[in-house]
Amino acid sequence: MGAYLVRRSFLMILTLFGISVIIFVLLRLVPGNIVDILFDAAGMVNPREKLKIERELGLDRPLPVQYLTWISGLAQGDFGYSYVSEKPALEEIGPRIPVTAKLAVLALVVSVLLGVPLGVVSAVRQNTPTDYVLRVLSLSGLSIPAFWLGLLILMACVAWFGAIPIYTEPPASLWDELLLLSVPAAAVGFRSSALIMRLTRSSMLEVLRQDYIRTARAKGAAPRSVNYEHAFANAILPVVTVIGIEAAFLIGGLIVTETVFNIPGVARYLVESIRWRDYPIVQNLVMLIAVVVVVVNFAVDLLYVVLDPRIKYSG
């Protein structure tokens, strides 16, 4: 187990290094930079002023030097500063992380609470009216884009309550914030729950056809015990994998949802920073998302050992 942890930790570091190089290079391959955008927006054409700003921002240095400066700054806790707002990057990113984290956690809770139980029920009651209804519901969730569902929710709230559940000012309390985030979380979680429901159903059906399940039934085990203690315990591993992937996706995949509901989160800010070529912000946000994805996948691998003691990681 110790050798496995060391190997996986090294692989995580190597993966993050590769991601950092890719995002650094791709961001600078895009035509134009922050200086060009600022000059175009201000209508300025003075070449000397442009060169001066490039020198102040360090954009006149070779790319390897810029990359090493960024990485060494990260290692020392220095995230640079925003070229647009001229504030430290950590001050710009920090307040937005809890907002996106709360929205992602709520959406994940909604997806798990809906997807797993309904998937189990659909499998246990295969080819019954309940199964058909749940299958149609899951296909609807996979087919309807989250942003379109969000717009429908906003229109329904206006028609029924005369108000729109979007961010206009910071919520007064945590409870108010959770209530405000519950609407977009439900819109995003509905799509994720449909995917989890389909996979749970397929995994349960595969396990229910195994010989040991038929043996348990032949010995007179209660249907509830067979379905929920024997079958579900062995069908949960693939579902855990998908839940982990969805959790990682939600951190960076809320761009449209945060825009529709006017949520000042990380994903929406990332798009704005890309548009402005705000290199420090984009690089740090992408690295943050990459770290979350890598850590979540590592946590899922370790969770396998807890859920199934038969799994052993050896050196």
How many CB atoms are closer than 10 A to CB 29? Answer: 7
- In DSSP terms, 6 is beta-bridged to none
- CA-CA distance, 125 to 113, in Å (whole number)? 19
- CA-CA distance, 19 to 16, in Å (whole number)? 5
pLDDT, tens only, 16-31: 888 888 888 887 777 6
Give me the residue label for tokens 């729950």.
193
Got the DSSP string for 254-307?
-HHHHHHTT---HHHHHHHHHHTT-HHHHHHHHHHHHHHHHHHHHHHHHHHHHH
Is pLDDT at 314 greater than 60 in this prediction? Answer: no
pLDDT at 214: 81
How many CB atoms are closer than 10 A to CB 264? Answer: 13
Residue 188: closest CA among 126, 129, 106: 106
In the chain the domains, ranked by start, together with CATH numbers, are 2-93 (no CATH), 98-263 (1.10.3720.10)
- CA-CA distance, 94 to 72, in Å (whole number)? 20
What are the backbone dihedrals phi and psi of residue 191, each rounded to the nearest 5 degrees, phi first? -65, -45
Radius of gyration, CA atoms only, the chain: 24
Name, in order, each residue with C-beta under 8 angstroms of 276's C-beta and a sequence gap of 6 or more: 34, 37, 83, 84
What the block records as the tokens of 185 is 């979380």
Is pLDDT at 157 greater than 70 in this prediction? Answer: yes
Is pLDDT at 304 greater than 70 in this prediction? Answer: yes
Return the SS3 of 82: coil
pLDDT, tens only, 213-260: 888 788 777 777 777 777 887 888 888 888 888 887 777 667 777 877
- CA-CA distance, 146 to 244, in Å (whole number)? 19
- CA-CA distance, 125 to 119, in Å (whole number)? 10
CA 289: distance to chain centroid?
A: 8
pLDDT at 168: 65
Residue 148: closest CA among 179, 191, 110, 115: 191
Is pLDDT at 143 greater than 80 in this prediction? Answer: yes
How far from 150 is each of 99, 119, 165, 236, CA to CA, in Å?
Answer: 18, 24, 10, 30
pLDDT at 237: 81
0.85 exceeded by pTM: no
- CA-CA distance, 173 to 131, in Å (whole number)? 41
